[in-house]
């Protein structure tokens, strides 16, 4: 019989994918049988079904052999027998299904993928395990994984379910992938979705029970909340099936029902109660979700001494889902490093990240240049920080991008948790502090109210107060130090008159010792940049500048000013020895509380220098008075406020592509300052650099 051209075509298509004929043949035969010789279904999308089936059969083969190897020797004989039986079955199918041209019958597509996924759940788990993700399945569990869909072992089970994780074999371009918040993952974790079918809750649950509490642990004397929750529940209270409950299966051994209790906001993680009445056990049915929650809340209030009578178990569970999602998907929000541990920088040995020069004259980041975009943050931020020059051929300055401050050498920055007292954190809070009707202890330190709105912008009254202080410090409260560390460092130890430090309002964000979760609305600055920013060459002679690629609302957090943490002495020594005086990336002084200090230790008078190590804020140019960004001190880790974060928020709505500016607070008349002021080209009607004549400004602009 002449070979069927459709068969040859299928072999060819698979060969193109690197799959040999001998692998394709048995699977194709099986498929033809299952699809009742409906070739069209097999040929669709360049034989995707066929390729999938081959890969799946490879997977289950691999899993089967792993499972066989792991089995005890006693089982070996039985396993071998099973293998022979399987081979015989396969042969019978092959004989039955001859590959030849036969009339095709239109048939409903069989959900092969679903069948396969049920057949080899162990493969998925092994995959997950090998990915190195946080959600590892312990080795011992892999050994014991059932070969078919896991049956519920218990009458009652609490399961947290989530999307299936698998490794992506392809390197993922940081530009293209959904950022994992700035983290370079060696083996990126991707959500594994069926190619043509939406993920249902049920599929997710079946494929990866990420965590479950089994009945054994309910009775082993464990005193965790979950366990007692079940133990202490009044057994006389029966639960009837309600609308919220899904009947999951009518298994031979009993009826299984599932009640979803809570989920993360976008539904990736769920907490559900599963209930199965075994043979011989009384039928368990749910009364209502509300009554379960209410009973549990009473138990929590009475037995666990929860203090807040408005406490909601549902919110707690929701937070648990969010927390689970956080820990499972976000590795970048690890607690800030103790910056003391960062070794001092070695400028003689600084690797130039912009060494390669591209055709268009730009120097490229040598670590990765996906497509033709340069991400100056090298994937360390949760958004891309691109760079463009449409004005001239100048290259970006050489510096190291760091997303968080790092101590240079002498600065004393102590992040120890023990220094954070109960007044400095909200340890009894949970969930999102912003949803509470009363301000948490952290908010009490921000003038008694939460600084942020639910949208993550700063509240208007707080923002306006900060703008006022920044624009006109003399009109606000200014403190003068007796021994100004700034003047002392500037004048090489000789005391100069303090020029005054304006008393600025702080925002206190929740942090590690707080009870709230990482997504609490009172954590904005510590979560990093969220808007897409771009470094661009300004047309007005100011060099590089920064802009956003999207409209920004008023009060939006743009970025933090990040740099090396230096003592004032270190800064002035550095400046005096530098050959780059005129191209200095203006430092900022962390002087918000200096006026309050009676005695100052040298290592406590700090500033941030972004000249060599810094983040995107080092590109923000100066504008006198009416800049569209304002700097606000934010306390995160350090209660003593010698060290704090300097966050930049928009003072008004800012349109996409509008240059972002801040007021450096330069005194253009101070000729004694070792950091020489530039000729200001800010263009503000309130420009303080009055000595720069209009003619000189125009000339500078024309030259650029
Ligand atoms: C922090 S850097 C800002 C980024 C800088 N434009 C660059 O190209 O890297 C500060 C330097 O930018 C320039 N600059 C900033 N604001 C300016 C302004 N209003 N007028 C003129 N030059 C300005 C000065 O050279 C200043 O020393």
CA 402, CA 562: separation in Å to the nearest integer?
A: 7
Q: How far apart are CA 540 and CA 356, in angstroms?
A: 27
pLDDT digits (tens, 9 = 90+) for 346-377: 322 333 333 333 333 333 333 333 445 789 99
Q: What sign results for the dihedral spanned by CA atoms 330, 332, 333, 334?
A: positive
Q: Which are the contacts of 214, defined by CB distance < 8 A and separation ≥ 6?
A: 153, 154, 157
Assigned token pair, 627: 């800049």
User: Which residue, judged by its Cα, is nearest atom 11 of ligand 1?
Assistant: 585
Tens of pLDDT, residues 205-245: 323 222 222 333 323 333 232 332 333 333 333 333 334 44
Q: Note the pLDDT of residue 146.
A: 33
**pLDDT surpassing 50 at residue 130:** no
Report d(CA 537, CA 113) in Å as an integer. 52
Q: Summarize the confidence of residues 562-573 as an average pLDDT.
A: 93
Strand pairing class (254-263; 385-388): unpaired
**For ligand 1, atom 13: residue with the closest CA:** 542
Structure tokens at 136: 């590892």
Tokens 């009945």 appear where?
Answer: 215
Residues 6+ apart with CB under 8 A from 55: none
Nearest ligand 1 atom to the CA of 664 is 16
Nearest CA to ligand 1 atom 7: 544
Domains and CATH numbers, the chain: 5-117 (no CATH), 141-327 (no CATH), 385-703 (2.170.270.10)
Classify residue 293 by burial, with Cβ atoms within 10 Å: 0-12, 13-18, 19+. middle
The residue whose CA has the least distance to atom 1 of ligand 1 is 585
Average pLDDT over residues 495-499: 78
What is the rounded average pLDDT of the residues 52-77?
Answer: 56
Tokens 């003072």, located at residue: 651
Residue 49: band (very low, low, confident or very high) from pLDDT cuts 50, 70, 90: confident
Q: What angle do CA 294, 296, 297 make, to 5 degrees?
A: 65
* CB hemisphere CA count around 418 (13 angstroms): 0
Q: What is the pLDDT of residue 577?
A: 83
The minimum-distance atom of ligand 1 relative to the CA of 682 is 19
- Out of 350-359, 375-384, 405-414, least confident range: 350-359
Task: Provide the H-helix boundaries in 450-531.
Answer: 460-471, 485-490
Residue with the smallest CA separation from ligand 1 atom 2 is: 585
User: Helix, strand or coil for residue 126?
Assistant: helix
Q: DSSP labels for 235-301?
A: TT--B---TTEEEEEEETTEEEEEEEEEE-TTSSSEEEEEEE--TTSPPP-B--HHHHHHHHHHHHH
Distance 689 CA to ligand 1 centre (A): 14
Separation of CA 543 and ligand 1 centre (Å)? 6
**How would DSSP label each residue in 664-697?**
----TT-TT-SSPPPPP----TT-S-TTS-HHHH
**Distance of alpha carbon 702 from alpha carbon 563, whole angstroms:** 32
Atom of ligand 1 nearest to the CA of 620: 3
* pLDDT, average across residues 612-631: 97
Look at residue 423 in the predicted model and tell me its pLDDT.
84
Residues 612, 493: contact at Cβ < 8 Å? no
What is the share, in percent, of the chain residues with pLDDT greater than 90?
A: 30
Whether residue 326 is predicted with pLDDT greater than 80 in this model: the reply is no
The pair of structure tokens assigned to 333 is: 């929000």
Pocket test for ligand 1, best of 363, 396, 399, 543 (most atoms within 8 A of CB): 543
Contact 314, 261 (CB under 8 A): yes
CA–CA separation, 515 and 323 (whole Å): 12
Q: Tell me what pLDDT residue 41 has.
A: 84
Of 224-228, 244-248, 329-333, 475-479, highest mean pLDDT: 475-479
* Confidence band for 536, pLDDT divided at 50, 70 and 90: very high
pLDDT at 329: 56
- Measure the CA–CA gap between 136 and 167, rounded to whole angstroms: 12
> Which tokens is 603 given?
């290592």
Nearest to 110 by CA among 202, 35, 26: 35
| Beta-carbon count within 10 A of 575 CB | 20
- State which of 144-148, 314-318, 395-399 shows the largest mean pLDDT: 395-399
β-pair type (501-502, 478-479): antiparallel
Percent pLDDT > 70 in the chain is 56
The whole-number pLDDT of residue 285 equals: 61
CA proximity to 456, closest of 382, 509, 503, 411: 509
Sign (positive or negative) of CA dihedral 465, 467, 470, 474:
negative
Is the pLDDT at 311 greater than 80? The verdict is no
**CB contact at 8 A, 552 and 533:** no
Cβ < 6 Å from ligand 1: which residues? 397, 542-545, 584-586, 618-619, 621-622, 678, 680-682
Report the length, in residues, of the chain.
704
Query: Dihedral of CA 439/442/446/448: which sign?
Result: positive
* pLDDT above 70 (res 686): yes
| Cα-to-centroid distance, 620 and ligand 1 (Å) | 7
Q: In this predicted structure, what is the pLDDT of residue 256? A: 58
Q: What's the mean pLDDT in 269-289? A: 62
Q: What is the ipTM of this complex?
A: 1.00
Give the nearest ligand 1 atom to 584 CA. Answer: 27
- Mean pLDDT, residues 673-684: 89
Residue 589 contacts residue 573 (beta carbons within 8 Å): no
Given the structure tokens 């549990």, which residue do they identify? 296
Looking at residue 616, what is its pLDDT?
98
pLDDT at residue 466, as a whole number: 94
Angstrom distance (rounded) from CA 161 to CA 241: 21
| Both structure tokens of 629 | 């960004």
Average pLDDT, the chain: 69
Q: Is the pLDDT of residue 481 over 50?
A: yes
CA distance 168 to 190: 6
Q: Under 8 Å CB-to-CB from 226, ≥6 apart: which residues?
A: 158, 213
Mean pLDDT of 445-467: 95
pLDDT band at 278 (very low <50, low <70, confident <90, very high): low
Of ligand 1's listed atoms, the one at least distance from the Cα of 583 is: 27
Other C-beta atoms closer than 10 Å to the C-beta of 50 total 24
Mutate to test the pocket of ligand 1, among 392, 542, 659, 668 (most ligand atoms within 8 A of CB): 542
Tokens 């009518």 — which residue? Answer: 250
Instruction: Give the SS3 label for residue 71.
Output: coil
């Amino acid at each position: 019989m002449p070979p069927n051209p459709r068969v040859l075509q299928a072999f060819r298509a698979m060969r193109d994918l690197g799959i040999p004929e001998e692998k394709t043949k048995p699977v194709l035969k099986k498929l033809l049988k299952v699809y009742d010789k409906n070739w069209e279904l097999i040929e669709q999308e360049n034989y995707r079904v066929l390729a999938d089936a081959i890969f799946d059969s490879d997977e289950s083969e691999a899993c089967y052999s792993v499972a066989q190897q792991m089995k005890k020797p006693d089982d070996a004989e039985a396993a071998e027998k099973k293998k022979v039986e399987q081979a015989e079955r396969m042969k019978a199918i092959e004989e039955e299904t001859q590959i030849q041209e036969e009339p095709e019958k239109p048939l409903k597509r069989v959900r092969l993928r679903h069948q396969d996924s049920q057949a080899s759940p162990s493969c998925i788990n092994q995959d997950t395990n090998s990915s190195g993700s946080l959600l590892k399945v312990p080795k011992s569990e892999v050994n014991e994984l059932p070969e078919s869909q896991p049956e519920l072992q218990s009458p009652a089970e609490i399961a947290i379910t989530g999307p299936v994780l698998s490794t992506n074999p392809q390197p993922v371009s940081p530009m293209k992938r959904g950022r994992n918040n700035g983290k370079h993952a060696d083996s990126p974790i991707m959500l594994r979705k069926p190619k043509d079918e939406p993920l249902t809750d049920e599929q997710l649950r079946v494929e990866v029970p990420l965590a479950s509490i089994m009945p054994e642990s309910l009775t082993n004397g464990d005193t965790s909340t979950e366990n007692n929750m079940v133990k202490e529940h009044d057994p006389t209270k029966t639960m009837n099936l309600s609308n919220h409950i899904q009947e999951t299966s009518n298994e031979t051994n009993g009826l299984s029902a599932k009640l979803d209790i809570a989920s993360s906001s976008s539904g990736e993680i769920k907490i559900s109660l599963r209930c199965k009445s075994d043979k011989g056990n009384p039928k368990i049915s749910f009364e209502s979700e509300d009554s379960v929650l209410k009973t549990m809340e009473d138990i929590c209030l009475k037995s666990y001494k929860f203090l807040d009578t408005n406490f909601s178990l549902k919110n707690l569970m929701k937070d648990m889902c969010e927390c689970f999602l956080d820990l499972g998907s976000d590795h970048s929000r690890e607690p800030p490093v103790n910056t003391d541990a960062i070794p001092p920088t070695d400028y003689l040995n600084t690797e130039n990240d912009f060494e390669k020069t591209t055709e268009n004259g730009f120097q490229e980041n040598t670590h990765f240049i996906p497509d033709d975009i340069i991400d100056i943050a090298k994937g360390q931020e949760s958004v891309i920080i691109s760079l463009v020059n449409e004005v001239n051929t100048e290259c970006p300055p050489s510096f190291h991008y760091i997303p968080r401050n790092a101590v240079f050498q002498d600065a004393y920055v102590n992040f120890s948790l023990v220094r954070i007292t109960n007044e400095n954190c909200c340890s009894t809070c949970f969930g999102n502090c912003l949803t509470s009707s009363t301000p948490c202890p952290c908010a009490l330190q921000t003038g008694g109210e939460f600084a942020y709105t639910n949208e993550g912008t700063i509240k208007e009254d707080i923002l306006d107060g900060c703008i006022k202080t920044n624009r006109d410090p003399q009109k606000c409260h200014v403190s003068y130090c007796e021994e100004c560390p700034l003047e002392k460092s500037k004048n090489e130890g000789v005391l100069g008159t303090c020029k005054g430090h304006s008393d600025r309002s702080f925002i206190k964000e929740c942090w590690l010792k707080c009870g709230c979760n990482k997504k609490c609305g009172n954590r904005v600055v510590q979560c990093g940049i969220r808007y897409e920013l771009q470094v661009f060459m300004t047309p007005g002679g100011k060099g590089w500048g920064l802009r956003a690629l999207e409209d920004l609302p008023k009060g939006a957090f743009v970025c933090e000013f990040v740099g090396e943490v230096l003592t004032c002495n270190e800064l002035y020594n550095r400046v005096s020895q530098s050959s780059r005086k005129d191209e200095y990336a203006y430092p900022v002084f962390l002087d918000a509380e200096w006026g309050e200090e009676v005695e100052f230790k040298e290592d406590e008078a700090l500033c941030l220098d972004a000249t060599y190590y810094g983040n995107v804020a080092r590109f923000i140019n100066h504008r006198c008075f009416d800049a569209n960004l304002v700097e606000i001190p934010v306390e995160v880790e350090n209660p003593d406020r010698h060290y704090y974060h300097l966050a930049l928020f928009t003072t008004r709505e800012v349109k996409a592509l509008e240059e972002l500016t801040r007021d450096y607070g330069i005194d253009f008349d101070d000729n004694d300052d070792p950091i020489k002021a530039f000729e200001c080209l800010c263009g503000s009607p309130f420009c303080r650099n009055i000595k720069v004549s209009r003619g000189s400004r125009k000339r500078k602009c024309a030259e650029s």
